[in-house]
Amino acid sequence: MSLTKATYSMIQDAPTNIVDFGADATGVADSTAAIVAAIAASNFVYIPSGTYKTTTQIDLKSNLIVQFAGNATIQFAGNATTYAFNANTCTDIVVRDGQVLGTAIAGYSLFRFVSCANIEIQNCTIKQSGSMGLQFESCNFVKVDGCDLSNNYYYGISDTDGTNNKYTNNLFYGNGSTGIATTTGGRGINLRRCVSCFVSGNRFAANTEYGFRIYSEAADASASYNNVISGNNFYDNTRTDFVLYDESLAGTLVKNNIISDNIVQRSTEPSLGVFYLLHGGKNTFVNNRAYKSGAFSTAVAFNFYYAVDCTMIGCSAENITNAISLPGSNNIVIDTFTGTTVATAISSLSGTAGGIVVKNSKFTHGGAGASDVAINSVGVATAKNWYDGNTFDGFHTGIYIGDEPIAVYRNTSINSTFAGLRKSGNDLSNQEFGNNSWDVTAPAILESLQKDKTPNSRAIVNFNVAPLALTWSVGDRCYNFTPSVGQPKSWVCTVAGTPGTWVSEGNL
């Protein structure tokens, strides 16, 4: 009695093996036709150990599982002119445990999905694409988990008009450099006009432009919003690590996103800053950390450029020149920020419309500059800025103000080399001060300046003589902070002027 050999695909409920359709596991012969035939014959395709060369596009279909053996590789030889895998208006596709390699020259993406839903790419290595490793257009409920998407010519993942997509626990390393071809436009993940997507647990390192970018262009009719980017690690992405970019310039197209618990560590200098937010609106940053190892960084940790209505809570910067920059921004709340070894706490306020709130934060100087100012608020245009409950340690000047609208309460400066609080200009009419502690101050009459917001907007200062500078109003008071018997206990301004006429309220 003789035995008849059964192929793997003949076993009931077993996946279809591409070798049964003539695929060559040595990588010598072209296996494209065999893989196409296996996909046409089954909804569960198995790619066993070996290397399989493909040369033309393979179209995927709905309700398909492609399962690779642990050491199975598809080597695509044609992505200078076409995609390796393509799916259009498909649903329920799973690709697992495989390695797909491109030609490493500029060309097309390895995987392209258009108007698809319920796509899963799990534990795959996708490298050396001529464009993107994974390219999604108008797809929803995509999940990419545990993959290595490195050394692709442009991006590891490109997602345009995606909804409810998840990118978790992946590696994005060296995109923009395939080993053969290079570009300055390498990114880990690029999201455009995406909604309610989740990006978490990924590592972005040494990509030639950005680690992660979410954006919408000025001509876009739809926005990128309600996305969550949380718990990712970034390391030395060339231009910057994290970008939110609203090209509308109005904060209406990249909005209501949550960026939380991300860590950026750098050993090199980025050209744009570490976290970079351009024009975005109503975005929230929580517990993000920017750290520079080695030499003191010359960068900006959190660069908000013309951003509006954004909030930052519990974030930190260490060993970086500029903790936060706010050029052109307005209505920004910064709460419980920790700036350790920084030269500047908050910069570029002179270009803002105001409405900046900095509270409950601590900044410790670490720069080499002999004139470093923690917060330079001089020249804010219109809306009032609030500084409440902050500590400034070791700066040349803690807070530097002019005549702009401002409220300064419960702040403390220690180890200042020149001024805890410094004021230029003469106008106190729209300025409020109270319960601050300044260790050294210039001009000296502001030794412990308080200006309570009362119906008459009267200033209250503490010094050992009546004011000799600035412009004062009738009813402003100066309390003698070194009183002794026979000396005035205070002075009151009886004639407005610069410095006006000051009369003693009586000796002790």
Please report where in the chains the tokens 């700036």 appear, as a residue.
Answer: 339
pTM for this prediction? 0.88
Residue 471 CA to residue 29 CA, distance in Å, equals 89
Cα 488 from chain centre: 55
Question: What are 259-281's pLDDT values in tens digits?
Answer: 999 999 999 999 888 888 777 78
Q: In what order do the strands lie in the sheet with 338-342?
A: 171-173, 203-205, 233-235, 263-266, 289-292, 316-318, 338-342, 362-365, 391-393, 412-414
Structure tokens at 19: 């070798």
Domain residue ranges of the chain, discontinuous segments joined by +: 1-208, 461-508
Tally of CB atoms within 10 A around 294: 9
Q: Which fold has domain 1-208?
A: Pectate Lyase C-like (2.160.20)
Contacts of 118 (CB under 8 A, 6+ apart): 91, 92, 93, 141, 142
Evaluate whether 135 touches 162 at the Cβ level (below 8 Å): no
**Residue 441 has what pLDDT?**
60
Residue 12 CA to residue 502 CA, distance in Å, equals 101
Residue 457 CA to residue 427 CA, distance in Å, equals 12
Question: What are 424-465's pLDDT values in tens digits?
Answer: 776 777 888 878 887 766 554 454 455 544 445 567 777 788
DSSP 328-389: T-EEEEEES-EEEEESEEEE-GGGS-EEEEEES-EEEE--S-TT-EEEE-TT--SSPEEEES
Residue 216 CA to residue 459 CA, distance in Å, equals 48
**Residue 370 has what pLDDT?**
84
**Residue 6 has what pLDDT?**
43
Residue 463 CA to residue 459 CA, distance in Å, equals 13
Tally of CB atoms within 10 A around 276: 23
Residue 41: helix, strand or coil by DSSP? Answer: helix
**Residue 2 has what pLDDT?**
42
Tally of CB atoms within 10 A around 13: 5
Regions in the chain scoring below 50 on pLDDT: 1-12, 444-445, 447-448, 452-455
Structure tokens at 207: 């990509």
Q: How far is CA 218 from CA 242, 254, 401, 427, 496, in A?
A: 20, 11, 36, 41, 52
**Residue 9 has what pLDDT?**
44
DSSP 235-249: E--SSEEEEEEETTS
End-to-end CA distance of the chain: 125
Structure tokens at 79: 């992505």
Residue 354 CA to residue 332 CA, distance in Å, equals 8
Nearest residue to 157 via CA among 103, 97, 197: 197
Question: What are 94-139's pLDDT values in tens digits?
Answer: 999 999 999 999 999 999 999 999 999 999 999 999 999 999 999 9
